Structure 1
Amino acid sequence: MRKHILIVLGLLVLAGVGIFVWLGWPDKAQLDVAAVTGQRPTISEPRSQIIPTVKVAEAVGWPAGAKPTPAAGLTVERFADGLDHPRWLYRLPNGDVLVAESNSPPRGHSFVDRVMRYLMGRAGAGVPSANRITLLRDANGDGKVDLKSVFMSGLNSPHGMALFEGQLYIANTDALVRVPYTEGATKISAKPELVIKLPGGENHWARNVIPAEDGRTLYVSVGSASNIGEKGLDLEHRRATILQVWPKEKRSRIYAAGLRNANGMAINPQSNQLWTVVNERDMLGSDIVPDYLTAVELGDHFGWPWYYWGGYPDKRVEPANPQLQQYSKRPDYALGPHVAALGLTFAGDVKLGQRFATGAFIGEHGSWNRVPPSGYKVVFVPFGPRGWPVAGAKPVDVLTGFLNADGEAQGRPVGVIGDRTGALLVADDVGNVIWRVTAAGQGGARQTAAR
């Protein structure tokens, strides 16, 4: 009897191994990341998995004196440290920098939620949200923070910030709120006023807000609640969208849809047009689907969850939506699979020399669903004179070295902005640092901001 039991157990083990092999677990990339970047990326056949490939870079932080590696001709130094999961940055007119110290709201207690808590904990995102905005001031212009002050507290997973018509708008995970702003203030104690409610929490929790090019409205990005709508499409109401908000009237509409997680948004100064970076779907293999950078117009639909990259069907999604296929807009520029593109800012305010004079800087937070890992760096996409990515151009590394030789995350870049001197500031939510990138010899431009 015992012999038969052992035989059965052995067969079950072999069957389990066979299933894992059949699933291709863990799936490994067959293409270099560069092949899945640019205007015409390689879109290979999907390799769908029941058990996802998981390759989470364990967060270890920066050893004493260590820092990322800048591109040739650039230097990098600490602008501010000792922060608590800094995610997003915003520069005020007087040169002060606001940083949202924020994280996901508490997750549920399902098996998936517990797994995600574990994975996010390994990645450095498991800490409770500080729920505050901190002000950083470089009073003497030497490229180092002289004053660090709690600007606002008691928020709800805040992320995007925007000054508009004398009011500071903050994108909490569940609401767009605003407070009066006085130039030079180091603290705001006013109770935030509700502008519009937003679908909160769930999967992609971070919201962003920027003024629209019309000077009258705001754009607010809202990520999806799931990977491909597997929790039910009713939960995705007004999610995976960019909303257009009329702040005076406190009303909004869907400006564009089918954007799984359009976190970074910016107006291209060349064309005065909205652009965004988007995190695409997981669990189709290590080679797809590419995250992307794209222009966005009113009424655009980029296909999520039914289609990706302009019409490739995701057969996992039910019910199907065949009518949408011909209307799914193809993005303008692929950034590579699973790079987790989050931060976006255009050259103009950022002055890092001729090589980086025209184009977009992008913070790639880094993959969890790819072997080997992708992202974990800041890249630059060069644009031509007409305001579009240069034909055939690939992303240029600006700041690397966030992964150490053992594949551990010393840092993870998120928000990117220019400071008042033309340097690039990069929020690092694992290193708890704001990095400052300058052209060699630029250093701290000793300009005194108006107070």
Structure 2
Amino acid sequence: MTSKTRKTIIVIGIVVLVAAIIFYLVLRPTRAEYTDAQLTGPDPVIAEADEETFPSIALAEPAGWAADATPTAAAGLSVARFAEGLDHPRSVFTLPNGDVLVAETRGPASADGGGITDWIMGLFMDRVGAGGVSADRITLLRDSDGDGQADQRSVLLDGLHSPFGMALRNGRLIVANTDALLSFPFEVGQGRITAEPEKLMDLPGGGNHWVRNVLYDAEGDRLFITVGSASNVAENGMAEETGRAAIHEYDFATRSHRLFAVGLRNPNGLAIQPSSGELWTTVNERDMIGPDVPPDYLTNVPVGAQYGWPWVYWKTYVDERVEEPMPNFLTEYTRRPEYALGTHAAPLGLVFADGNGLGGAYDRGAFVARHGSWNRVPKSGYDVVFVPFDARGNPEGETPLPVLTGFLTEDGEDAHGRPTWLAWDNAGGLLVSDDTAGIIWRVTGARSPASARAGSEPTR
């Protein structure tokens, strides 16, 4: 090795070392000042915003589960594996005959390769087990002997485009790709769909948030569709956000659609509250103003509701980073969310109890899967929680009850898995998808094995 080569190697080493130090000093997360309990509930602490030039990073790398390991179920509950060996299972949907559909899916690749931001986010996603090529399929799981474990599986649909939401209606399976709402001819019990779909409507594609969840209204005549924002706080302009940060409504009778509610940065879970018939959703709030603000949330969504994104959060707090002019009426008409779920906890899956599920303290309220933070110390989420509701259909209690914990490793640094989506099976068990571990967990309570449940979606 020549002297010149040695000097070149030394210079490169110094540059890399300096870059690593700068990266650590700039991107290391600021430790949160408030506890998870202070940042949850109907009246959370709203901390002072502290704008970040670069996002704080606190990634939980996937550690996997030992062969006999499970998350920790709360007292009175049990958890076991319903299915495993899946490729990034996200949404879960139960059919009236008990078959369970699972979307094995990831976000789509950027059409133009993306810029530096997309590249960096790609590295982050790879580190937490969310990167890679999407399987783009829906798999059917069947528990033929009723023992609580799937013993049969088949690929129901493939060749999709980052599929997520699923619904059933009049002999059709509705599937939400990231860029279109599709309708396939389907009979319950069928193991494979080969027919071409009908496109019901286009959906905004691209951008940061690719998930498109769907749910029928209480009557089963209209379909709600979630579409998250294309950015954090409209930093690329509002033109790019057309039709986004919103819940859409598709009317089957008129084959038309409209914006049902807006200003929701990234709505994911959808569920109808049993006693009121109201639509509720989970929402992932904005980043890069500190580890303690603003809280993600669970809220009801009346028609025409405005929740403030990108200009406003938690009804009265203005985000000074947004360059687009704020509408004059916004602060007056922005709704306050009903219940905070912690900051950066990434609440996704949502289902309501209706008296036929886990029993005990879990009879009346909402179950939420909190996928987990990537930019907070200590980490938040990585659990399934239960928000009790009162008899009038409103959340009660200052903090949610634990249902499944133990997804983080003992030192809190890495994650065995990440809870993603929730669905009831037809025997009263709560199915929980764990995307990075490739597992569907099944949670049962005292009443679950003897409870018979009808299919969760209209079949009219």
Q: TM-score, normalised by structure 2?
A: 0.90
Which residue of structure 1 lines up, in the alignment, with residue 345 of structure 2?
339
Cα displacement string for residues 78-137 of structure 1 (whole angstroms, at most 9, x for unaligned residues): 000010000001111111110000000013331101100000001110021100001111
Contact 2:352 2:366 in 1 (8 A): yes
Identity %: 51
Contact 1:241 1:258 in 2 (8 A): yes
3-state secondary structure, aligned to 2:124: helix
Change (3 A) 1:327 1:20: farther
Aligned-partner Cα distance in 2 for 1:81–1:376: 19
Supply the AA of the counterpart residue of 2:291: S
Which residue of structure 1 lines up, in the alignment, with residue 254 of structure 2?
249
1:443 deviation in Å? 7.2
Cα displacement string for residues 409-436 of structure 1 (whole angstroms, at most 9, x for unaligned residues): 1100111011111111000001100000
Aligned-partner Cα distance in 2 for 1:444–1:359: 20
Which residue of structure 2 lines up, in the alignment, with residue 3 of structure 1?
none
> Where does 1:17-416 land on structure 2 (aligned, <5 Å)?
26-107=29-110, 108-321=113-326, 323=328, 324-348=330-354, 351-390=357-396, 392-406=397-411, 407-416=413-422
Change (3 A) 1:410 1:25: closer
Task: Say if 2:432 is the partner of 1:426.
Answer: yes
Contact 1:139 1:448 in 2 (8 A): no
Aligned-partner Cα distance in 2 for 1:396–1:449: 26
Which residue of structure 2 lines up, in the alignment, with residue 6 of structure 1?
none
Aligned-partner Cα distance in 2 for 1:185–1:54: 45
Aligned-partner Cα distance in 1 for 2:450–2:404: 21
1:54 deviation in Å? 0.7
Divergent runs of 4+, >2 A = 23-26, 247-250, 442-450
Supply the AA of the counterpart residue of 1:64: A
1:349 deviation in Å? 7.2
Contact 2:428 2:453 in 1 (8 A): no
Contact 1:91 1:98 in 2 (8 A): yes
Please, what is the CA RMSD of the aligned residues?
A: 2.1
Supply the AA of the counterpart residue of 1:425: L
Query: How many residues align structurally?
Result: 433
1:150 deviation in Å? 0.6
Change (3 A) 1:360 1:350: farther
Aligned-partner Cα distance in 1 for 2:453–2:276: 31
Change (3 A) 1:267 1:429: same
Cα displacement string for residues 324-363 of structure 1 (whole angstroms, at most 9, x for unaligned residues): 1111110010000000000000002761122100000001
Aligned-partner Cα distance in 2 for 1:20–1:123: 18
Supply the AA of the counterpart residue of 1:367: S
Aligned-partner Cα distance in 1 for 2:325–2:60: 35
1:26 deviation in Å? 2.7
Q: TM-score, normalised by structure 1?
A: 0.92
